Amino acid sequence: MTSIPERDELERQVIDIVADALSQPRENVQPYSSLMDDLGAESIDFIDIVFRLESAFDMIIPDEQLWAGSLDLPNADAAAIQRGVVLLREQAPLFRWDRFPNGVEKRDLPRLITVTTIVDYLSKQKEAAH
């Protein structure tokens, strides 16, 4: 695996990758922008983003791991998802939580993918490699 840079540089690189993959001006891609809701990402875009991340950092990202960030929500039951969402709300107060007036369910998880969740995931991989 190529060395994953420190967090500030990693965030800059992820913003560049996401902006390019989604044909968005860089200034539109903020750390807590939902890739789906704010930037218009679709399923095929996530495949492209994962490919670009894998190429940039010489690593393999298993299916459904991209949005895991520092949590393991894709494999969680409803109660664990709600506990994870509480943590995410604390970590990401600038995220548009008002989009989920009835709470976050498992089917909503892809809508939670942001630059920050990607950076969290990559940072977690960096820590695991050491």
Per-residue confidence (pLDDT) for residue 17, from 0 to 100: 98
- 111: which residues sit within 8 A by CB, 6+ positions away? 34, 36, 37, 99
Residue ranges of the domains in the chain? 7-129
- Output the pLDDT for position 2: 64
C-alpha–C-alpha distance, residues 35 and 17, integer Å: 12
Q: Summarize the confidence of residues 24-42 as an average pLDDT.
A: 96
pLDDT tens readout for residues 60-81:
888 666 655 555 655 677 788 7
Query: What CATH number has the domain spanning 7-129?
Result: 1.10.1200.10
Position 41, amino acid: A
Could you give the CA distance from residue 28 to residue 33 in angstroms, rounded to a whole number? 8
Min mean pLDDT across 14-18, 74-78, 80-84 is at 74-78
